[in-house]
Chains A and B, each alone.
Chain A
Amino acid sequence: MQRPAPAKFELLVRRDGEEDFELRQVASVIGYLNSRPRRIDADSYEVSELRSRVAAAPGFILKNKTTDRFLLLSAQERFLWDQMDGATSLQEIATAYVLEYGEFDFEIIPSLLRKLQRAQLLTFEPRSRLRAALARNRGRVIVKAIELALTSLERIRISTHNVQGFFQALYRYGGFLVFTPFAAVACTMLVVVGAAAAFMLFRDVHDMLAGFGRHTLRGILMVKLLFFASVALHQFVHGLACIHYRRRVREFGFTFLHGFVPTFYIDVTDIFMATRRARVVTAVTGALVHLVLGAIAFIVAAEAPTGSFTQAFAAASGIIQWQALVVALYPFCFIEMDGYHVLVDVLGVPTLKHDAIAYAKGLLTGAGRIERGSEELLWIAYIVLSTLSVAGFIAFNIWIIVSATH
């Protein structure tokens, strides 16, 4: 019998205006990918390892202490079970699986879910507890205002899914050059010259941003606009890298990151199906755009007349570009940027941030310390480094703004 198409709802979502609305088709598969399976309470189950003389990898026995039902899990299924904490969506769990094992079995998750449900080992949580809590307390003006602000920002999303052809053409008509030894040599030379220019600027020019004069605000806005364009270029290079490794670019668009940071984004998650080298190259090359642009900016600043607007503009652009490079590649900042993805890929700990925050939260709220041997050290290191880094980043930016305005 032919399998029916996934069930769909057509929903009408009202905007702030009384009559304005947006229609959305929600297929059941979207609900499935966003669902957050949660293990039953830790007191209600136990896991024990099952060593076999035949199989190389150990198996595990999972027992529901309430119903006395047993399940036999493979190491991969045990890994998935550990992810099912009620906060991680199935889509994120699948990504974690690929990062851990470097491959994906499309049947393993649905099959495990069925087994766990039959053994009454699983519950499901709503997509966002924050949004659910806000919806419950909508009567309060402040809550309603927060909800409205979040909803409004979340709605601003301009994207297209039909981009594979565009990126293939971009790659064919010159984009492939980015991945040649010639490009690597040219970029290295440019960066060396740019670094020398930056060094000379910092050594010889007392106040690089003096050229803004009375036009500080205009200067900063122009720098930010140029930077915004470079973020789009950053995403384009991620897309080109994805094409270089013969994977698919699924989406390109503009949105508000975390609900408030305007940014361009690209969906290159298909690269998870490629080799680790491909994943690392895809992550790193996008960020290198800022390295190259920063170098060019410093060269321009060094060549521009001292105290001119051009010098100030180029120097500020250079600083912000290299700062973006650090933010993108530096993994310890609580944000899952390119460097973070490379780190968790190399360490083989796909849920590092999530686990580290849960660990810190447990310590701070007195809910108890999660004991996990050497992983604890990794979590502590991540939290400490990230906290110090974020504080340092904020201090550095305050210093830049204060320097520019005085």
Chain B
Amino acid sequence: MQASADTLAFLRDVRVFESFSDPDLTVVTERLRQRDLRRHQILFREGDSGDEMFIVRRGTMLISKAVTGKVEQVLVRVEPFDFFGEMSLFDGSPRSATAQAETDVELLVLGRDSLQAMTETAPHAAAAFFYAMVQVFMERLRRSTQQVAEATRWGLEATGLDVEAR
């Protein structure tokens, strides 16, 4: 992908690239691919194999996890400047959730091979990338913990269960 001024300006506001120098950002940009999704198109399903992460440039992605039958719980909406799918990028495990376009979406795709190349050619940039990624992981872990608490609260409210009483 060509490192256009627009793309570079966009990536500067993506959290994992915030600390990148201009030359490093240009190198990363050249390794990114663009992928467009039409509204409601499924990018990947829970259980699929994968080795790419995606940055949302335009539109909204829904990340959902199967609950029962045809019902899935919406875990998060991914808006522009945010990213998803990074877990498979690191450990190569199957996708833990389904990603589907809520609107027409424009994505930037970063593959595992690109990440490895970046580690070798621009170690300083790679370190900044991994540091930012750890911070994001911690935030997402906190959000997951909060979701578990909300799910418990939902269950207590829906059943009227009085757990405070002895």
Interface residue ranges, A against B (CB under 8 Å): 4, 6-15, 18-21, 23, 28-32, 35, 110, 113-114, 117-118, 124, 135, 138, 151
User: Bound complex: CA of A204 vs CA of B72, how far in Å?
Assistant: 64
Q: State whether B71 touches A13 (Cβ < 8 A).
A: yes
| Residue from B70, B151, B154 in contact with A13 in the complex, judged by beta carbons closer than 8 Å | B70
A10 with B74, Cβ < 8 A, contacts A19-B42, A28-B157 known = yes
* Chain B contacts with A in 110-166, Cβ cutoff 8 A: 150-151, 153-162, 165-166
Per-residue CB contact flags for chain B residues 29-72 toward chain A (1 = under 8 Å, else 0) read 00000000000111000000000000000000010100111111
On whether A138 and B162 interact (CB within 8 A), knowing A23-B74, A31-B154, the answer reads no
A7 in contact with B160 given A18-B42, A19-B100 (CB within 8 Å)? no
A11 touching B153 by the CB < 8 A rule? no
Question: A31 contacts B158, CB within 8 Å?
Answer: yes
Q: Is there contact, CB below 8 Å, between A135 and B68?
A: yes
Chain A residue nearest to B72 in the complex (CB): A12
Docked-complex contact B40 and A21, CB < 8 angstroms: yes
Given pairs A114-B160, A124-B159, 19 additional interface contacts (CB within 8 A):
A7-B150, A7-B151, A8-B154, A9-B151, A11-B72, A12-B72, A12-B100, A13-B70, A18-B42, A19-B41, A21-B40, A21-B100, A28-B156, A28-B157, A28-B158, A31-B159, A110-B160, A117-B160, A118-B166
CA distance A151 to B68 in the complex (A): 14
On chain B, the number of residues with a Cβ less than 8 Å from chain A's Cβ atoms is: 28
A sample of 5 inter-chain contacts (CB < 8 A) reads A28-B156, A28-B158, A31-B158, A35-B160, A117-B161
What residues of chain B have their CB less than 8 Å away from a CB belonging to chain A? 40-42, 62, 64, 67-74, 100, 150-151, 153-162, 165-166
* Contact (A12, B154) CB under 8 Å given A19-B41, A19-B100, A138-B69: no
A12 and B157: CB pair below 8 A? no
Establish whether residues A35 and B70, one from each chain, have CB atoms under 8 Å apart when the complex forms.
no
Given contacts A32-B160, A114-B165, A117-B162, contact A11 B154 (CB under 8 A): no
With A12-B62, A19-B41, A114-B162 known as contacts, the answer to whether A6 contacts B157 (CB < 8 A) is yes
A20 proximity list for chain B (CB < 8 A) = 40
B157 proximity list for chain A (CB < 8 A): 6-7, 28-29, 31-32
> B165 to chain A: which residues have CB within 8 Å?
114, 118
The chain A residue sitting closest to B64, CB to CB, is A12
